[in-house]
A and B are shown apart, each in its own frame.
Chain A
Amino acid sequence: MPGTILENLSGKKLSVLVGILLTFQLACFLVGLIAPSPANFQNVGATFCVDRNPDNKDENRWFTRQCKESLHDLGNTTGLSAKNIVFVFEMPLFRVDFSRWQQKLVGMVHFEQIYQEGRKLTPTVQLSIDARLAYADKTLDGARTPWTRYAHAQENRHMDCDLDAIRDHKDGYPYDCSMVPLFELGNLYHDYYLLNVRLPQSQNSELGRVHDVQLNVIFMNGGFTKVCVSMKTVFFPLVLGVLLWFWRRVFILSRTPALLEYMLLSLGVTLAVLNFPLEYFSLYFDMPYMLILSDVRQGVFYAMLLSFWLVFAGEHMLIQDNGEKNCLKMYWKHLSTIAVGCMSLLIFDLCERGVQLVNPFYSIWVTPTGTHLALSFVILAGLSACMYFLFLCYMVWCVFKNISIKRSVLPSMSQARRLHYEGIIYRFNFLMAVTLICAAVTVVSFILSQVAEGQNKWDEELDFEVSSVLYTGVYGMWNVYICGMLMLYAPSHKQWPSDPTGQDGEELEFSRLPTESVPSEISSLTSFATKASIE
């Protein structure tokens, strides 16, 4: 009877395998040590340029920091109107240029306002922003190509203002408003970017006296991307190799593959897709859809992982199968929660990031309908996630209940079989524990990285970034986890060792029942559990 490698592997070999996997895991954490923090930012102060010809509709008229006429501050604007003033931001600062390794660019604007006596204040300020984005590249001799239009949009945003600071209405005091997310670029193909922002007067009546304007741009750190891509480059062929080995092993069996084997295979495939170092292409091609692509890749992988857990628990529960060959249909109720959650997230993602392909200034959250739509998708996804976890917990609970019932039967078995089955139960429990540990580590590292963020440095003396160590560690952990699953749950070629002591009635008890189609179960634990439940 074919079993899985997990059951037939000797304790020594198993510990060697686990040791190798743990070494990989440790290496992933160590790799994180050399990486800088995942993302970095730059504060870019606005240059206030004067546009003497605001009605010129030429799309290729750009104001740079060296504009002909600029204002030192916005306190002295006699003779000017709102349409004359252009906020100019050039990215990046300091004579450096963006690298394609930096992956993406997220921009947020902050308007610093000053209270003027007699002015009515509203807690929410509606803004209408005319934003234009241009790019330039570095030529071989170090000069810049002329600015070329990238996008132009008229967008609405809103700011939430904290009016407590000026409760006693002091003239000339600044008050605090939230920053405004302005744009998001899916890749950083060009070297320099230029943003020209205008605030048309008629639509911005709620805006107070603007004193200063700052742009914050966030980009991924090139070092972090490099570390991640190197990890992917190493893992991709490894996973692919394990996958091929696993599939060959399943394929040479005479039986048709079992459901769990299909699930493992597809999980491995999604992992391989996730590991595929697509980022190399973004170094040579303009791929603004990188963000969507990586979102979808991750989403598919998580969906597959969640489905795998469900099926894994279900396949080990085996109460009343009636010998039916297990298939995905049985799990439609459970899997539909994942499908609904993932689909709603996908639609949400496409609504936001999909439109951003055309207009990087687009945000679904600015219009009320958009906000409702986005929120409903997110809530739907959250609900289905809750449903899923309820299902999963119930199933895992059932499995453990089953196992503990069967355990009580164990003493009545012959010595060898008992030890054997106890070993299987132990290893199954061990794998459940590994899954739980992985999930817990993921959750804890997520929380830790949230806490560590902003603090930036864990300790002044330690020169590494906690969030990147956690990121690479967790990423490596799921790779190691799935590789381990693929290896341990591959069908074994070994036959059951003949059981010399089990010559009495128990032999019959544990021989296969005719109602079962032989190949449907992959693990002897499952067959054991099935039989016991049928008894």
Chain B
Amino acid sequence: MASVILVENLSKKYLIGHQRQELYTNLHDVIAQGVSRSLKKLAHPFSKAKDDPAHEEFWALKDVSFDIQQGDRVGIIGRNGAGKSTLLKILSRITEPTSGKVSIRGRVASLLEVGTGFHPELTGRENIYLNGAILGMSKADIKKKFDKIIAFAEVERFLDTPVKRYSSGMYVRLAFAVAAHLEPDIMIIDEVLAVGDAQFQKKCLGKMEEVGADGRTVLFVSHSLPMVSSLCTKAILLDAGQVVKAGAASDVVSFYTKGDSGAEINFQSRKIGDEYAQLLSVSILDPSGVAVTQIIINQEVRVAVTFEVLQDSERELLPRLDFMMDGGRYAFVSFAAAKMQRYKPGKYKAICRVPANFLNQVTYFIGFGLVSYEPTKILHFHEHSACSFDVIDPLIDVPTRTRGMPMNDFPGAVRPVLDWDVEKLG
């Protein structure tokens, strides 16, 4: 069968400037990095312009090649920053590659977000037309499918209500319904199913399977490994902008999870750090000291980080851990203030213990940084998404209860067990 998507040696380079960095770091850190680079410049005045703080090169994708056959349902997996979104953006023609080539046969529709172009002031009906047009449907096409769309979205009664008055569930349903009726040859989907209630997710999955069964090709990016292994026939694992493994979905998914839990995440080959200190590895340990990717909510979590101090200096190093949630929101940050000291050259292992019954039932992404303040602030390194782990609540065998009734989600970054007193008055 012919390839519908052929990707050859695809690379994408970003020049990271100050503007881009503040997405992830605060101004302090940016300035600190600037200072650190200027110091580096002073130390090595003839080094290349790569050290220019305003233009740091970053390869989001490097030499990626693969091909996709007609009718394949392909899952693209990898940790945050692996290059998944960049790949989708290139395939969707939103951004252009730095080098390499992609050949696509057939009409592509990409859904990188639910409800792109929805306007809150417009009614459901108006938004169907607008969103359809943005996604590339003709007016006649939308008219023809209009009834199917509203039936799928279950919003008949609210067609002439501005979508700003919709519940978030209705909004998502309507947005997905429009996209689901595009009927392209190739469909590219990014995490859209991460929203909506369970019942609607099921419906969307059904629709996607239907799309695949029609002989259309589906590309699906997800953090949810169970979803990829159940929905896709093939998978591609990206890491640091490169294809690590491609093949049958079940093989790639099991490779990915084994690669995660079997050992710690190793950074030695990537040289994260400066001339003072470098990051070596990060791992999540369960109470028995085994590296894991899942922790039960009533277990203590240990984040273990190894780093190497490269030179004897006056600098007092301060380790810092970031706990971030999906979408890059910070849950909290912890500084090892009591351990801020001079470190002799050598390898060190830092362990941060997060008490049991403290974290919420979500996925946390761990960032680790090392900073020193005297004589000037230097951020030696700051790896934003070094690793991730899921906190799960099996609902049984959890003696310390934070929940009264079983329900799906607790809002918030943490879900601590706290002391309560309730007394009868008078």
Does A pair with B? no
